Amino acid sequence: MRRLSLCLLCAGCLAAAHAGLENTIYGGLAIATGEGAGGMNPGLTACVQPIGRFIEYFGVGGHADYTWLSAERPAGASRSDFGAGVHLWDISLVPKGFLPLGESANLAFEVDPGLSLALGYVRIGSYSDSDFEPNFGLTFGVSFNIYAFGFAFKFKNVFSEGGNTNWITFSVGYLYQQPSGYI
């Protein structure tokens, strides 16, 4: 048992010698997909993603993501008479695989399980209602990083009792701390 612990400690120290923290801030466009997406407008999304890269091809971290999608206004309704949509927060664990493409570029792939919080709201005339619901979420993502910039595409799925909510995001990000030697 001691030998195994010593081997794991040595492997961890060797990995940490080349470890770096990669922090990326993304912002972009979110588009609802699937059932019910026809009545939704494209919305804005923002994400903060710190990733610890322990080896050249793999890292682990997390992300905090916010997306706002609004419903289309019915014909004849004014802005003051109608408002509906959903605010989505996604907090996930991020295992991320990297494929180096050169000295300053790489592709990254991720599958992120996590907690998704949804705040749905509706306002029609003097009637107003909202509903807050925590759910399990899953994100599949691909990003292309070159120098200090990232371009990401993510498919997000939230599993709830009322059915699944899906949306895709297209984001541009800025990598503000580069790991030592892996990009």
Domains of the chain, each with CATH number or no CATH = 2-177 (2.40.160.20)
Confidence of residue 110 (pLDDT cuts 50, 70, 90): very high
Task: Please check whether residue 20 is in contact with residue 53, taking contact to mean a CB–CB distance below 8 angstroms.
Answer: yes
How high is the pLDDT of residue 99?
A: 92
**In the structure encoding, which two tokens stand for residue 177, read together?**
């701390």
Rounded to a whole number, what is the distance in angstroms from the first to the last CA of the chain? 37
Q: Is 161 helix (H, G, I), strand (E, B) or coil?
A: coil
Question: Would the pLDDT of 109 be above 70?
Answer: yes
- Report the predicted TM-score, pTM, of the whole model to 2 decimal places: 0.78
Question: Would the pLDDT of 124 be above 90?
Answer: no
Confidence of residue 23 (pLDDT cuts 50, 70, 90): confident
How high is the pLDDT of residue 8?
A: 40
How high is the pLDDT of residue 5?
A: 47
HSE-CB at 48 with a 13 A cutoff on CA atoms is 2
Specify whether the backbone of 36 is left (phi greater than 0), alpha (psi in -120 to 50) or beta. left
